[in-house]
Amino acid sequence: MNIAYSTELICFLILSAVIVSGSLAVVLLENIVYSAFLLGGVFMAVAGLYLLLNASFVAAAQILVYVGAVNVLILFAIMLVNKKEKLKPIKGLKTRKLISGGVCGGLLILLLRVSITTKWNLPGPTSIGEEATERIGEHLFTDYLLPFELASILLLMAMIGAIVLARRDISISTGDINDFKNKKSLINKKIPLLSENSLK
Amino acid sequence: MNSGIDLEMSFTQGVQNLGLSHELAHLLWIPLPMLLVLVSAVIGVLVTVWLERKISAAAQQRIGPEYAGALGILQPMADGLKLLVKEDIIPARADSVLFTVGPILVLVPVILSWLIVPFGQNLLISNVGIGIFLWIALSSIQPIGLLMSGYSSNNKYSLLGGLRAAAQSISYEIPLALAVLAIVMMSNSLSTVDIVEQQNTAGFLSWNIWRQPVGFVIFWICALAECERLPFDLPEAEEELVAGYQTEYAGMKFALFYLAGYINLVLSALLVSVLYLGGWGFPISIDWFSSLIGLSIDNPLVQIIAASIGIVMTILKAYLLVFLAILLRWTTPRVRIDQLLDLGWKFLLPISLVNLLVTASLKLAFPITFGG
Amino acid sequence: MLGFLEKVADYTKEAVSAAKYLVDGLGVTFDHMRRRPVTVQYPYEKLIPSERYRGRIHYEFDKCIACEVCVRVCPINLPVVDWVMNKETKKKELRNYSIDFGACIFCGNCVEYCPTNCLSMTEEYELASFDRHSLNYDNVALGRLPTSVTSDPSVRPLRELAYLPEGIMDPHELPANQKRAGKLPTQIIKELQADKSQEEDNNNSSNIVPNKLNSTN
Ligand code: SF4
Ligand code: SF4
């Protein structure tokens, strides 16, 4: 056992401990803000795992997309609606928790069984390191072109949906606002944040 | 091109000659670059702070710091020392854990990004293949730290400042990445070393700024926005938000924000010089120059001179840009938040997309000049 | 389609003009960098206050007749005149006089109206103290004369902007004999008087009637 291998092992153990405990904390913590921040930590630890596998491009992409975009958006949403109020007690919370715990446990056992019984092809193919970026691009534009395009269409749809949701139905003509001669025009034009139509 | 001076190789070989195994030598090597990065980043910040104060003073017909050292050159040190010994206050109702982690999360990614800045052929900490992409990924961690410190301060202004900072850096990251993408497309590589090399074929005529003038402007605007420099310093707008997310911070934790801000500025300037101004390249090609004197490029003397010229050139270009940033600070008024987002989403984003498209088509049309 | 293109063209024009203004602004800032600083390094260098500077009030106890005019004209009735009536001599006997410079606005009304001219305004402006009550000056403190900036050996006196020669902004390294731009008030008065007397001379020699008119005026 040489130094490189042992450092790798130690890193792997630390990262996996962080991932497991972090994700447990994300689920179990009462404070939702803590959960969100810990989620970011878990994402980063996953990126660390990718790094250990010599997949630096995937690791960077993981950080960029999950930490930089997804997690920040989650945090934004939490902080903009951060009301410190007690949630209504839900009836039968205990049984619900038990059921969901059971389902999760079952899933875990299933996964464990799969991972133990499968004959892993060890050692796997040697990692290609820096060439990975090119290889990913190649695959995305040849074998996986269809899923790639489908995903982009999905994202486009989501974007249009977001715009439709966020858009105000009335349009304010800027000419009226800048109408300085008729000074009342601004006062008369009370601009509702949500017009009646969009609420229906 | 030549391989130049390889620091790591010579170091590990030197240690191995002392009778240690190769792996141990490698382990010993690992902390050194980190130390080097820290030291050079801090020195860069000290110089920048001094420059900022002196140039601001000159632009306002003041004198600026004068008594700490000759021309006040030790003033940033004095500032740092003061912040170091100041009382570290955590507000009573703040969330102390997040309050402490926030500034660290802001600073660490910035320092890590220094890994990819090349000062010469082999004068960089690690020539990671994903180079510039690593920087973009790392800088996307920063908003989390800002949100964290904004939230944990338990202060309206801090929260608003944190939210603004995060919104700003998310929206400017996209045009920034697109501008970088155009460069990457031309040099066929994400690595900063390759990007510089591809620019250094014919002196300053082959710098990317001539091929990517629009990209240069976009990148510089976005970099200023990411650093929260003056036309875009909304997150800490004194008149509205006291000091934004830094409001509750004092002592060393405040110093971390301060450091992060200036390291980020220097880093952005360095990256602009790497991406657009030919990095370590001298305006006149060194190959041509050495052949003029009649020395071979592999001559150790030429090597050393070339390396030092490279370092000086990189730093010179970067500090020219820092100067521009300081001048901009005293020229432009702060934009409003809606103007900021308008500029980001309605101006820079479409322009950078068009820029990308044009670059792609030019690359297809003229593969020689635009990287085949 | 054409409308859209027009919009794009307008937008580009606007962007270009914005960039132009930005460059103009940068030029102005850059140009400022070569101008010399006009900083007055305060504790070591001080501006010489002008003749009519309204600084801390000086008071002469012996001249004061305790008439309290200064109190009446003061916008906040600030000066405290502490006197007792001497029954035998039937005269006011002044015991104490004080002005609180924490409240004084240095308007100079008291100085203007004092019938005996025992109040005057000095050029002293460094009144800072650790306790606001020590800003309440009594007659002894009010009687002290300030050190003049020009006579203080540890201070380099500098002329104020209005006292500099024409076209010069920097008071440093200015030869002492350089005259200020324009004339001094005394000079103006002197000139006016000279003009007047000349005019009178002229009038005397030429005509007597206007001279009479003048005198009736
Ligand atoms: S007006 Fe003059 S004389 Fe009269 S009380 Fe005041 S200081 Fe004395
Ligand atoms: S200077 Fe004005 S405010 Fe001060 S004591 Fe005299 S009258 Fe009152």
| pLDDT tens-place string over residues C195-214 | 888 877 777 665 544 444 44
Residues with CB under 6 A from ligand 2: C 73-75, 78-79, 99, 104-110
- Atom number, ligand 1, closest to the C-alpha of residue C67: 4
Percent of chain C residues past pLDDT 70, beyond the cut: 93
pLDDT given at position C81 = 92
pLDDT given at position A85 = 62
Q: Which of C107, C135, C138, C139 to mutate to test the pocket of ligand 2 (most atoms within 8 A of CB)?
A: C107
Chain A environment of B173 (Cβ under 8 Å) = 68
- Cα of C111 from ligand 1 centre, angstroms: 9
Interface touch B347/C37, C-beta < 8 Å: no
On the question of pLDDT at C33 being above 80, the answer is: yes
Location of structure tokens 């994400």: B190
Distance between CA atoms of residues B34 and B125, nearest Å = 8
pLDDT given at position C212 = 42
Instruction: Tell me which chain A residue has its CA closest to the CA of residue B150.
Output: A79
pLDDT given at position A173 = 55
Nearest-Å Rg of the Cα atoms of chain A is: 25
pLDDT given at position B307 = 76
Percent of chain A residues past pLDDT 90, beyond the cut: 20
Q: Which of C64, C99, C117 to mutate to test the pocket of ligand 2 (most atoms within 8 A of CB)?
A: C99
**What's the pLDDT band for A110 if we cut at 50, 70, 90?**
very high
Residue ranges for chain B with pLDDT beneath 70:
1-9, 121-127, 202-203, 285-290, 294-299, 371-372
Q: Comparing B312 with A125, which gets the higher pLDDT?
A: B312
Q: What secondary structure letter does DSSP report for A92?
A: T
Quick one: tokens of B364? 């297809």
Q: Comparing A180 with C79, which gets the higher pLDDT?
A: C79
**Residue A69, CA distances (Å) to A31, A37, B137, C133 in order:** 21, 13, 10, 60
Helix (H, G, I), strand (E, B) or coil at B88: coil
Quick one: tokens of A93? 């919370």
**Residue B135, CA distances (Å) to A39, A40, A50, B120 in order:** 22, 18, 17, 18
Distance from CA of A199 to the nearest CA of B (A): 25
- Cα of C126 from ligand 1 centre, angstroms: 25
pLDDT given at position A198 = 44
CB pairs under 8 A between B and C: 33
CB-based contact, C12 to chain B, within 8 Å: no
Nearest CB partner across the interface for A56, out of B129, B138, B150: B129
**What's the pLDDT band for C113 if we cut at 50, 70, 90?**
very high
CB-based contact, A163 to chain B, within 8 Å: no
pLDDT (mean) for C145-173: 83
Q: Which of C105, C113, C124, C139 to mutate to test the pocket of ligand 2 (most atoms within 8 A of CB)?
A: C105
State the pTM of this model.
0.77
pLDDT given at position C209 = 47
CB-based contact, C29 to chain B, within 8 Å: yes
DSSP H stretches of helix in B237-370: 238-241, 251-275, 286-293, 300-331, 337-342, 349-365
pLDDT given at position C72 = 92
Q: What secondary structure letter does DSSP report for C94?
A: E
- Cα of C79 from ligand 1 centre, angstroms: 9
**Residue C107, CA distances (Å) to B68, B297, C75, C136 in order:** 41, 79, 9, 17
pLDDT given at position B134 = 85
Chain B environment of A43 (Cβ under 8 Å) = none
- DSSP for B154-187 reads T-HHHHHHHHHHHHHHHHHHHHHHHHHHHHHHHH
pLDDT given at position C205 = 61
Residue B335: CB atoms within 10 A of its CB come to: 17
**Type of residue numbered B59:** A
Write down the mean pLDDT value for chain C.
Answer: 84
Q: Length of chain C, please?
A: 217
pLDDT given at position C104 = 92
Residue identifier of the C-alpha nearest atom 4 of ligand 1: C67
Cα dihedral: B341, B345, B346, B348 (round 10): 110
The segment with the largest mean pLDDT, out of A99-108, A114-123, B141-150, B161-170, is: A99-108
Q: What is the pLDDT of residues A8-48, one digit of tens each?
A: 888 889 999 999 999 888 888 877 888 888 998 899 999 98
On the question of pLDDT at A197 being above 60, the answer is: no
Cα dihedral: B117, B122, B128, B134 (round 10): 0
pLDDT (mean) for A109-126: 84
pLDDT given at position C35 = 81
Distance from CA of B330 to the nearest CA of C (A): 7
A neighbour chains, 3+ CB pairs within 8 Å: B
Ligand closest to CA C114:
1
Distance between CA atoms of residues C210 and A171, nearest Å = 80
pLDDT given at position B4 = 45
Residue identifier of the C-alpha nearest atom 8 of ligand 2: C74
**What's the pLDDT band for A150 if we cut at 50, 70, 90?**
very high
